[in-house]
Amino acid sequence: MRRNGRAHGLDGRAALSLCALLLVVCSARAQGSGRLVPKLVLVVVADQMKAEQLERLAPRFKGALRTLLDSGAVFTEAHHRHVPTQTSVGHAAVLTGRSPRAHGIVANEWWDREARRVVLAQEDSVHGIGPEQLLSYSLGDALKARTPGSIVVAASLKSKAAVMLGGKKADLVLWLDEESRGFATSSYYGPSPAWLGAYNAGLREPGGILAGVRNVRGLDEIWRSPKAHRLMADLAGRLLKEYRLGQDSAPDLLALGFSGTDDVGHRYGPDSRQMEENLLALDSALAELLGALTARLVKEDLLVLFTSDHGVMPVPESPAGKALGARRIDPKRFEAEVEAALQLVYPAPQGKLVDHLRVPHLYLNRSLAESRGYDWPVLLKDAARSISALAGVAEVFTAAALEGSEVRGSSSPYAAVYRASCLPSRSGDLLIRPKEDFLFGREGTSHSTPYRYDTHVPLIFWGIGVKAGSFPAPARITDAAPTLAALLGVELKAEKDGRVLAEILE
């Protein structure tokens, strides 16, 4: 088979049936446009990176980020359009191209009303960790349905990031396991690869990236250092080799979550010296990875997406936070205030009306309320009004209202965002919108809101079929997956109100 003027033989992995081979050949012409598809799609999600950081530090980038900025398609107004802006939700949005209402990941964790316990987004009832909670198919799933010989691999330091990037049909998903101090997978993805044990052992040997790390505290130090990015780049190089990614006619997908930026941002803030140093280290580590890729493949065989799962608010006590007038709300104190406000109108002296609260999701104890004869729909509306009067709260939606026509006609500029983020079977009974520049946290900083500092993130495409330049038109992060699908020639339609970013297609 000849592609880009070079001959390629078939190896064992490409020993497909004639029908499958025909599918591969047909998919090499994307949507009948005559474009050749990439041999490898690399997706990089930098955890908690703001678009503003990319712009501000652009003159200092010398590695891969410099390459992407200079010769990629850069969207300067790309935003997440969901709440909470958290790791699991953002990573799910990137490659499903869907909002929480469709992909089902309504937060990093949510309250299971029947089991009366917290459920983690990456939780799997059979395999421990896996994509059981993910309700939508992803780009990788669509790719494997289109070309059976395609390989899909995802990895991150965080399991909740890796699982969301891998989708439901990934060949392998890896994350950093605290107990074993090495990368791990779960039985959902099949047996652990034969090479992984030796690879992990090498990381811990003298001179290895994890040398000297003996406990979780040692791993915490790795997460906050440039070694976190080196670790991901090193693993990516090994995955390229072990799976021969991009080495045959079936396009492959390698999705990576670079998680080290998140811990630094939470602790020191997005404008700190530590964060700047960490982002420069990310630039260097990605240069190493891009070098490994271009040593195997020419640019015409590559397609790269670079983005982030969410931004972050400045630390309130920092100069940037003070300029915003940022204020803190103690989460425990706020929960007590919510309970008191509810009990004032609907007394339940022998119990708590609040089952679980993590903004924006507030879950109430329906069985307790109804046992006291309270009308549930009326209680929810009264609760929304009462909580709206609390310090730091801008407005409160009921999940029932987000399902109904009254929110579609709402004057609130955030109603559509909250509706797209609400899946009643998993979301809170009430969804709280905090006031802008209010941080629910006692130290450092965080993210979860629908405001620009949490939603405005980088979005860059680079490689085959991509027109370089700066694109100021608004884009949603959920537009990334259908755009990659268009370049791959696979079917993954944009969600309602989303689009394929056609302006970057050559």
Token duo for residue 261: 């930026």
Residue 480 and residue 406 share a domain = no
Given this model, what pLDDT does residue 336 score? 98
Q: Is the residue at 449 inside a domain?
A: no
Same-domain pairing of 58 and 134: yes
CATH of the domain at 171: 3.40.720.10
Q: Does residue 371 form part of some domain?
A: yes
Say what percent of the chain tops pLDDT 70. 92
Q: Is residue 316 part of a domain?
A: no
Based on the domain organization, do 332 and 466 belong to the same domain? no
10 is a domain residue: no
pLDDT given for residue 21 in this prediction? 32
Give the pLDDT confidence of 165-212 residue by residue, as tens digits: 999 999 999 999 988 899 999 999 999 999 999 999 999 999 999 998
pTM of the model: 0.92
Backbone angles phi, psi at 111, to 5 degrees: -95, 125
Looking at the 3D structure of the chain, how many domains does it have?
2
How far is it, in rounded angstroms, from Cα 303 to Cα 363? 42
Q: Please tell me whether residues 271 and 408 are part of one structural domain.
A: no
Residues 6 or more apart whose CB falls under 8 angstroms from that of 80 comprise 90, 93, 309, 310, 454, 455, 457, 476, 477
| 233 shares its domain with 331 | no
Residues 294, 367, single domain; the answer is: no
129: left (phi over 0), alpha (psi -120 to 50) or beta: beta
Which CATH number is 366's domain given?
A: 3.30.1360.150
Task: Determine the 3-state secondary structure of 436 from DSSP.
Answer: coil
CA dihedral 288, 291, 296, 301 (to 10 degrees): 120
Residue 8: phi and psi, rounded to 5, are -135, 130
Of 471, 456, 480, 462, the C-alpha closest to 53 is 456
Statement to judge: residues 379 and 269 lie in one domain: no
Residue 11 has pLDDT above 80, yes or no: no
CB 388 within 8 A of CB 341: no
Give 360's contacts (C-beta < 8 A, 6+ positions apart): 83, 84, 418, 421, 428, 431, 432, 433, 434, 448
Same domain flag for 257 and 296: yes
**Both 136 and 214 in a single domain?**
yes
Do both 363 and 305 map to the same domain?
Answer: no
pLDDT for the residue 313? 98
Residue type, 498: G
**pLDDT of the residue at 28:** 39
User: Does some domain include residue 126?
Assistant: yes
Residue 168 lies in domain: 37-311+456-504
Distance CA 230, CA 280 (A): 12
Angle between helices 227-242 and 273-296 (to 10 degrees): 20
Helices vs. strands in the chain: H and E counts, helices first: 21, 23
What was the pLDDT predicted at 31? 41
- Give the model's pLDDT for residue 3: 30
Question: Do you find a cis peptide bond into 206, omega within 30 degrees of 0?
Answer: no
Question: How many CA atoms, within 13 angstroms, populate the side-chain half-sphere of residue 265?
Answer: 22
Per mean pLDDT, which range of 216-220, 244-248, 257-261, 285-289 is the poorest? 216-220
For residue 252, being part of any structural domain is answered with yes
Same domain, 385 and 430: yes
Judge whether residue 12 has pLDDT over 50: no
- Give me the percent of the chain exceeding a pLDDT of 90: 84
260-268 and 216-223 helices, crossing angle to 10°: 90
User: Looking at the domain assignment, is residue 394 inside a domain?
Assistant: yes
Q: Residue 243: which pLDDT band, with cuts at 50, 70 and 90?
A: very high
Strand partners, 118: 111
> Is residue 49 located within the same domain as residue 188?
yes
* pLDDT at position 329 over 90: yes
Residue 3 CA to residue 247 CA, distance in Å, equals 12
| pLDDT, tens only, 135-148 | 999 999 999 999 99
Residue 296 has a pLDDT of 86
Q: Please report whether residue 29 resides in a domain.
A: no
Tens-digit pLDDT profile for residues 91-148: 999 999 999 999 999 999 999 999 999 999 999 999 999 999 999 999 999 999 999 9
